[in-house]
Structure 1
Amino acid sequence: MIASTGFGNIYQQRLFFHDLVCLIGRHHGVTGPQLSLEEFCTLEHVQVRDGSRSQEMYESFLAEQGIKRNIVLQISHYMSMPAIIERSDLIAVLPRSVAHIYEKHAAVRVIEPRVGIPVYSLKHHWHARNQKDPRHVWLRKVVVGIFAEA
């Protein structure tokens, strides 16, 4: 991964790609590996309102497609998500990496939505004044290494 500029004095480097999936309880009536658009729109959703840019972009994408979810519960973080999902018929849209962690530790499963959810790049950014600073270079290498291992 090579750093590039694109914002004047700001450098950026992609750390990984980020995509979203649905999470449902293992007991849920949906049995297939994928949700139809009709199921996606009619099932009751938990929405995470954590202020993240990917959630904002996702909601904009749905609006552009004319897709409206049946949101019945809003929460401010992902930490309570597995407990809510495994004890209800609600579904949630969340990052694949988080969903797979929950799938290992709770009675939930990942399901692919038929809604063409875009893939997002997660990047880190820094100012040009730090581009050659040895401590900053070291830290960026550590961060990139952590995400490369994942």
Structure 2
Amino acid sequence: MHIDELREFQRQGVTQDVFGLVMTCRRRFLNAAQLLELRSDAISKLATFGVDAPVDVWPLLGPFNVLTERYATQLFSPQESLLQVPSEKQDEKWGIYFHHILVPQLIASDEVVRNVLRAVRALPSRHPEQAAVALGQHFAEMTLPETRPPWAPEDAVDY
């Protein structure tokens, strides 16, 4: 697979990937609110967000493009395609990386969760566009996690 093919694959899946990130942030926020037994109009609105009406992921496309481009330039290896192992195709590696490695790291940050939800107007914000800008900056400067999932067996012996 050529890097341009990976980028095209990422562009084709952008809506689903960003929607998945938004809904994961929504779930994390609602679980925290439930744990603390918080009730408010904002939490009630968030509980129905994405269920009754579609989610506008447009504000998160810029920040998401920062992540996809960083992955393509820093973690993509065209030589891995030479082996042709079906489970290790570059497009599948991106999906595994995004959903199983990157998203769990992103939602571990309270600020990322809040800014994702503010940017798509799921949480009240005076300037939701600034939440998207903050995400783009965070994604540009964060350290990308390794490509192996956290449950990789070699983690047991790497001390």
- When the two structures are superposed, what TM-score results if normalisation uses the length of structure 1? 0.26
Q: Which has the higher helix share?
A: 2
- When the two structures are superposed, what TM-score results if normalisation uses the length of structure 2? 0.25
The structure, 1 or 2, with the larger RCO (C-alpha pairs under 8 Å, 6+ apart) is 1
Q: Which has the higher strand share?
A: 1
